[in-house]
């Protein structure tokens, strides 16, 4: 556990436009950002705004940015702080974040900036309650939930790799603590380490192509005009501290809304309500919806409970028949619903009735009905852990190559194990001791 290393997070305020801010805090903040950009930050004054670019490992531009640099102690956390104002949408923002992490920062826990501000004497006692609430919220999101968020296959894979690593470590530890053990255990762990390393790299590559790493379940709200799509979006928004971002470079009239339902991350796409011009709306709406539907994991089809199913709706229903769909009957406050089937969720965006039920169903559909959110490894925190695990294995392999003794090689293996453990929420130490006595016949 560390309390004063350099941390980073996206700190984009809710509901603003295309600019996203990444905040880095800690003694190494300036060095780390400096490694990631084309402007020499080591030479700039404190409390200045600097124009530059964030670069990837190959020095290609990720984004054009403004960098605000503030040196300790006159900062929010009383540590060095660098804030990067990015222009890209969420994808670019995440890339910049990943780059900063690669260069040595750790993704901040919820509320960690504020916590540091408090612990370093920057904010006063009246604000501390808010800090505690944030940490508490995190505590409540239990470990099982966190693991459940992982795609079954993926978490299984990581567990399997972790177990392989544990076996290598245990062999080395046995050979160290029981030098008279009657089998030569150190025989070929070089090959084991190499194989494990390349397996993890494959996993990371899939993540990079976006197959695995995403930010949540893509859900699209569709339906005819005036059935209450925007109202539904707004009500979900109000209740869930969602982040709304305009996607730069696209038409600016689609909205991505990020929010969690009990720990399950969603990205909700909506095209309605942005430009409600009368003329062509129907056609454009359906077309745009169709595009989004194709990419979506989950479709929320909103209908007017007071009307019969229109021909247009029948078309839509036909076009989404291969998708996971939640059918929603809106406007139940106006009278008896015109029920399509028992599975329909009945809501009123005016009274709020049925919204909780809808959220529950959205969550359950994801958790139980097999919508794969491999996405959650997605989450930057887990990707970072994977990157770190690979780095440690690389170091171990390099050490093997120059014939370092086992007890030094194992230092990197331990680290790698710890990083993998962070993805699925398990820690080492006792595991290793247990493995030792479980698998090997040891003793006097």
Partner 1 sequence: MLYDAADIDVAVIGAGHAGCEAGLACARLNKKTIIFTMSVDTIAMMPCNPNIGGTSKGHLVREIDALGGEMGKNIDKAYIQSKMLNQAKGPAVHSLRAQADKIKYTNEMTQVIQNTPNLLVKQQEVTQILVENNKVVGIKTNTGAVYNAKAVIIAAGTYIKSRVLIGECIEHIGPNGLKSANTISLEELGIEIRRFKTGTPARVDGRTVNIDEMEPQYGDENITPFSFSNTKEDISRKQIKCYLTYTNELTHQIIRDNLDRSPMYSGVIEGIGPRYCPSIEDKVVRFADKERHQVFIEPEGEQTQEMYVQGMSSSLPEEVQIKMLRSIKGLSNVELVRTGYAIEYDCINPIQLTHSLELKNISGLFSAGQINGSSGYEEAAAQGLIAGINAALKIDNKEPLIIDRSEGYIGVLIDDLVTKGTKEPYRMLTSRAEYRLLLRQDNADMRLTKKGYDIGLVSESAYNAFVQKKKSIETEIKRLQKVYLGTSETVQNILLQKNSTPLKSGISLFELLKRPELEYNDFNEVNDKRPELTPEIIEQIQIELKYEGYIKRQLIQVEQFKKLEKKLIPTDLDYNDVYSLRLEAKQKLEQLRPISIGQASRISGVSPADVSMLLIYLEQLKRGKNNVRNRG
- Kindly list the residues in this chain that would bind partner 1 in the complex (CB under 8 A): 1-4, 109, 115, 118-119, 125, 128-129, 131-132, 135-136, 138-139, 173, 175-180, 182, 402-408, 411, 432-433, 436-437, 441-444
Which residues share a beta bridge with 25? Answer: 7, 81
**Contact by Cβ (8 Å): 285, 277:** no
Compare residues 359 and 419 and give the one whose CB is closer to partner 1: 419
Smallest distance, partner 1 to C-beta of residue 402, A: 6
Smallest distance, partner 1 to C-beta of residue 35, A: 19
DSSP letter assigned to residue 273:
T
Compare residues 54 and 172 and give the one whose CB is closer to partner 1: 172
Smallest distance, partner 1 to C-beta of residue 42, A: 22
**Contact by Cβ (8 Å): 392, 416:** yes
Interior/surface letters 357-387, b for 16+ CB within 10 angstroms, e for the rest:
ebbebbbebbbeeebebbbbbbbbbbbbbbb
**Contact by Cβ (8 Å): 20, 86:** yes
Compare residues 356 and 407 and give the one whose CB is closer to partner 1: 407
Strand order in the sheet with 7-10: 48-55, 61-70, 81-86, 20-25, 7-10, 106-107
Compare residues 128 and 281 and give the one whose CB is closer to partner 1: 128
| Strand bridging mode 264-270 / 217-222 | parallel
Burial environment of residue 241 by CB neighbours within 10 A (0 to 12, 13 to 18, 19 or more): exposed
Smallest distance, partner 1 to C-beta of residue 77, A: 14
**Residue the block writes with tokens 């962070």:** 422
Compare residues 119 and 284 and give the one whose CB is closer to partner 1: 119
Compare residues 107 and 320 and give the one whose CB is closer to partner 1: 107
Compare residues 138 and 369 and give the one whose CB is closer to partner 1: 138
Compare residues 139 and 311 and give the one whose CB is closer to partner 1: 139
Burial environment of residue 395 by CB neighbours within 10 A (0 to 12, 13 to 18, 19 or more): middle
Q: How many CB atoms lie within 10 A of CB 108?
A: 22
Smallest distance, partner 1 to C-beta of residue 179, A: 4
Q: Half-sphere exposure of 285 toward its Cβ, with a 13 Å CA cutoff?
A: 24
Smallest distance, partner 1 to C-beta of residue 326, A: 33
Alpha-carbon distance of 397 to 191, in angstroms, equals 9
Smallest distance, partner 1 to C-beta of residue 247, A: 34
**Contact by Cβ (8 Å): 8, 101:** yes
Which residues share a beta bridge with 259? Answer: 266
Smallest distance, partner 1 to C-beta of residue 264, A: 20
Smallest distance, partner 1 to C-beta of residue 75, A: 18
Alpha-carbon distance of 283 to 287, in angstroms, equals 6
Compare residues 179 and 370 and give the one whose CB is closer to partner 1: 179
């Amino acid at each position: 556990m560390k309390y004063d290393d350099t941390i980073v997070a996206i700190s984009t305020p809710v509901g603003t436009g295309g600019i996203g801010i990444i905040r880095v805090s800690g003694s190494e903040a300036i060095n780390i950002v400096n490694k990631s950009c084309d402007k020499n930050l080591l030479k700039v004054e404190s409390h200045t705004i600097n124009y530059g670019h964030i670069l990837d490992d190959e020095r290609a531009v990720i984004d054009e940015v403004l960098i605000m640099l503030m040196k300790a102690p006159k900062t929010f956390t009383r540590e060095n702080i660098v804030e990067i104002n990015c222009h890209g949408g969420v994808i670019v923002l995440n890339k910049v974040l990943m780059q900063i992490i690669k260069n040595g920062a750790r993704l901040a826990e919820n509320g960690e900036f504020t916590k540091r501000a408090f612990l370093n004497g920057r904010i006063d006692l009246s604000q501390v309650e808010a800090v505690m609430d944030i940490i508490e919220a995190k505590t409540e999101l239990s470990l099982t939930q966190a693991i459940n968020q992982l795609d079954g296959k993926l978490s299984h894979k990581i567990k399997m790799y972790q177990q392989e690593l544990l076996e290598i470590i245990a062999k080395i530890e046995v050979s160290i603590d029981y030098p008279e053990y009657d089998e030569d255990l150190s025989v070929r762990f070089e090959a084991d380490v190499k194989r494990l390393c390349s397996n993890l790299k494959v996993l990371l590559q899939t993540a990079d192509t976006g197959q695995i790493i995403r930010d949540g379940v893509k859900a699209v709200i569709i339906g005819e005009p005036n059935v209450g799509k925007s109202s539904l979006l707004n009500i979900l928004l109000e209740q869930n501290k969602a982040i709304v971002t305009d996607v730069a470079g696209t038409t600016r009239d689609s909205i991505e809304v990020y929010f969690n339902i009990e720990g399950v991350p969603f990205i909700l796409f909506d095209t309605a309500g942005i430009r409600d011009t009368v003329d062509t709306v129907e056609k454009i709406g359906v077309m745009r919806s169709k595009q989004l539907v194709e990419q979506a994991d989950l479709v929320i089809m909103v209908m007017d409970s007071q009307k019969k199913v229109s021909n247009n709706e029948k078309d839509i229903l036909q076009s989404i028949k291969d998708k996971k769909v939640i059918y929603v009957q809106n406007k139940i406050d106006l009278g008896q619903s015109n029920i399509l089937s028992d599975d329909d969720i009945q809501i009123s965006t005016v009274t709020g009735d049925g919204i909780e039920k809808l959220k529950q169903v959205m969550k359950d559909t994801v958790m139980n009905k097999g919508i794969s959110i491999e996405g959650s490894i997605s989450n930057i925190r887990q990707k970072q852990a994977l990157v770190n695990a690979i780095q440690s294995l690389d170091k171990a392999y390099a050490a093997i190559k120059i014939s370092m003794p086992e007890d030094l090689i194992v230092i990197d293996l331990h680290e790698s194990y710890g990083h993998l453990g962070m993805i699925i929420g398990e820690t080492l130490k006792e595991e290793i001791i247990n493995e030792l006595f479980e698998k090997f016949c040891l003793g006097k």
